[in-house]
Chains A and B, each alone.
Chain A
Amino acid sequence: MLSDYLPILVIFLVALFIAVFVIVASGVLGPQRPTKRKLMPYESGMEPIGSAQRRFPIKFNLVAMIFILFDIEVIFFFPYALVYKRLGVFGLIEIGLFMLILLLGFIYIWKKGALEWD
């Protein structure tokens, strides 16, 4: 059971190793001749303007909130999906009701225009 997840652990360790290795190795092996221009943050060749940490519009936050809510909705589907055959029509009705209620929420945000970016 738990051993099913062993590959994930291995991948994790490999990823960790590569990341650490690359950083350490390039620090140790690479020649270091820094100039002011080289140390500038890379912004596609443009000269960076201002700080990267700016205030974000609240739109992003709203989208994140909506995302969380539908994310949680999906979470509820997972266990149902594993047993839907055995639950038969009754399960279909229940999950349908569940979805219907959230579909209403979807219609609501759509109609309000919260999904339009600008």
Chain B
Amino acid sequence: MPDIQIPSIDLGVSLQLLIIFGGAMVLLLADLFSGEGNKRIVGYIALLFVVGAAAAGVPYWDAPRSTFNGMLVLDNFALTLNWIFLLSTAITILISLEYLPRQGIERGEYYALLLFALGGMMLLAQGTDLIVLFLGLELLSITLYVLAGFAYPRLSSEEAAMKYLLIGAFAAGFLVFGIALLYGATGTSSLAGIANKLGSGLAADDVAFMLAGAALVIIGFGYKISMAPFHMWTPDVYEGSPTPVAAFMSVGTKGAGFAALARLLLVALGSQYATWGLILAILAAVTMVIGNVSAVAQTNVKRMLAYSSIGHAGYILMGVLSAGSPAAANRGIEGFLFYLLAYSLTNLGAFAVLIALEQRGEAAWSLDDFAGLWHRQPFLAIAMALCMFSLAGVPPTAGFWGKFYVFTAAWEAGLQWLAVVGVITSAIAAFFYLRIIVQMFMRDPVREISPSLDRNLMIGVGLAALGVIVFGISPTPVIDLVQGSVLALSR
């Protein structure tokens, strides 16, 4: 029998992935063979791999290529997303290093799992085939189920893991069913292939399958990005999970889910914008309203951040769906990427401040605990204030530019009403963000809390806050980056 021809593989495309997955496995071994009680070394090695992977991506800027039969690409869009994910993971590792031992849940697997999740996120950014996207999402989800339950003896952590697992499994069911229907309608699982098939026209009954499949896939991703009707799990899961994990989830899952959703909608289903555009616009509006209005009522800051992250999913979705309209194709992607970067930095910073306030066995997350923070820990108070301003979209912070970009994108896409809803909900959101600032600077401490601020946490908070303010004052480098990362659309 003849030998089977093996296609050539361009390992450069998967170089970052290889570093991260390889790194995760090295960490696993490092954990096994390192002594008890001091797993920080595993964390430091993880940081090394993350930085290495970020550097490894540099030569591939502006050199888009694909391999594995077009299942994996490395274009500027994917590269930028990868960098955002790597940055988020690095900050997450920094803020976890001292948190885990303080909570008595330090285990070396934590860092390995973080890197596996990161690999899943990168697969979602780089994948151009439904099967790869599904595998990436499962890799990310399974890791996060475990991480959510990482504070194992604590009941709320177990509850978070359980809820996330059940909802996640449900979402995966939707996704797989949708993928099956899309495959059945078009006969291919590759995004470009689906676009081709749609371009050449489908039979009437295949159109029904295609639409049903697309809807189910969007629902599947909608759970992951906590889009409006599928957002119920978010507050409970974020509240129960260990705080660094909640931070990672709020930026990681969301970013990766949006990355895959953007590629799916714009590359594979770009020609169907007329169908999904309005539906998603309505969902985005509902998401913004629900997230921000519910956040107003929260007195627990961690829960408030969870609700606000739902609201932010609405803003990011606004950018993604605007990109579907020919009038705002580039603007939408730019807005999506800028917003994602700003949101990632800001949210990680805010959660990091929560970590500083969290003592073992007792969480100081109520609004009152923030009272007078300025007098006790000026550094934390300033960082938190910056993050709150950025989340609210006040200039000169990165969050302002992110909002500016997505609102103009929606405007250019002809969705003026959506932009107006966005502005109104931002104004509502400003209320509860500013409330925290008022508490920190103008009130006296209600009870005695000594925040624990170690060096690594300080670096993490500092990095995030610095990014928020620097990208806010001079957004040019980021603008250059996102303008270079516009997704090549097939229409």
Which chain A residues have a beta carbon within 8 Å of chain B's beta carbons? 83, 85-88, 90-91, 101, 104, 107-108, 111-112
- Let me know if A101 and B25 touch, CB within 8 A: yes
Residues of A within 8 A of B28 (CB): 104, 108
Q: Which of chain A's residues have a CB closer than 8 A to the CB of B2?
A: 86
Give which listed residue, A87, A101, A108, A112, contacts B4 with CB less than 8 A: A87
* B residues near A108, Cβ cutoff 8 Å: 28, 32
- Tell me the count of chain B residues lying within 8 A, CB to CB, of chain A: 9
Q: A86-B1, A87-B6, A108-B28 are in contact. List 6 more A-B contacts (CB 8 A).
A: A86-B3, A90-B6, A104-B25, A104-B29, A107-B29, A108-B32
Please, which residue of chain B has its CB at the minimum distance from the CB of A110?
A: B32
A86-B4, A87-B4, A88-B3 known; A107 vs B25 contact (CB < 8 Å): no
Contacts of A91 in B (CB 8 A): 4
Let me know if A85 and B25 touch, CB within 8 A. Answer: no
Q: What CA separation (Å) do A29 and B3 show in the bound complex?
A: 65
B3 touches A111 (CB 8 A): no
B residues near A112, Cβ cutoff 8 Å: 32
A115–B219 Cα distance when bound, in Å, is 40
Distance (Å) between the CB of B42 and the closest chain A CB? 14
In whole Å, how far is A97's beta carbon from the nearest beta carbon of chain B? 11
What is the 8 Å Cβ interface bit string for chain B, positions 1-15, against chain A (1 contact, 0 not)?
111101000000000
Q: Which 6 A-B pairs have the closest CB atoms?
A: A90-B6, A111-B32, A86-B4, A86-B1, A104-B25, A86-B3
B32 contacts which chain A residues (CB < 8 A)? 107-108, 111-112
- What are 14 residue pairs bridging A and B, where the CB atoms are less than 8 Å apart in the complex? A83-B4, A86-B1, A86-B3, A86-B4, A87-B4, A88-B3, A88-B4, A91-B4, A101-B25, A104-B25, A104-B28, A104-B29, A107-B29, A108-B28
A86 to chain B: which residues have CB within 8 Å?
A: 1-4
A87 to chain B, nearest CB (A): 6
How far, in whole Å, are A85 and B3 apart by their CA atoms in the complex?
Answer: 8
Binary per-residue interface labels of chain B (21-57) against chain A in the complex, 1 for a CB within 8 Å, 0 otherwise: 0000100110010000000000000000000000000
Min C-beta distance of B393 to chain A, whole Å:
44
Q: Which residue of A lies closest to B4 (CB)?
A: A86
Q: How far is the CB of A28 from chain B (nearest CB, A)?
A: 48
Q: Which residues of A contact B25 (CB under 8 A)?
A: 101, 104
* Complex-state Cα separation, A104 to B1, whole angstroms: 34
Taking the nearest CB of chain B, how far is it from the CB of A86, in angstroms? 5
CA distance A83 to B32 in the complex (A): 36
Q: In the complex, what distance in Å separates the CA atom of A107 from the CA atom of B25?
A: 11
Question: Within the complex, what minimum Cβ distance (angstroms) separates A61 from chain B?
Answer: 15
How many angstroms from the CA of A112 to the CA of B29 in the assembled complex?
11
Bound CA span A112–B28, Å: 11
Complex formed: what's the CA distance from A3 to B3 in Å? 30
Query: How far is the CB of B125 from the nearest CB of chain A, in Å?
Result: 22
Closest to B25 in A: A104
How far apart sit A34 and B32, CA to CA, in the bound complex (Å)? Answer: 60
Cα of A85 to Cα of B4 in the assembled complex, Å: 9
Residues of B within 8 A of A87 (CB): 3-4, 6
Q: How long is the Cα–Cα vector from A108 to B31 in the complex, in angstroms?
A: 9
Q: Give the complex CA separation of A19 and B3 in angstroms.
A: 50
In the complex, what distance in Å separates the CA atom of A76 from the CA atom of B2?
22
Contact residues in A for B29 (Cβ distance below 8 Å): 104, 107
| A92 smallest CB distance to B (angstroms) | 11
- Please determine whether A85 and B6 come into contact, CB atoms closer than 8 angstroms: no
- How far apart sit A112 and B32, CA to CA, in the bound complex (Å)? 8
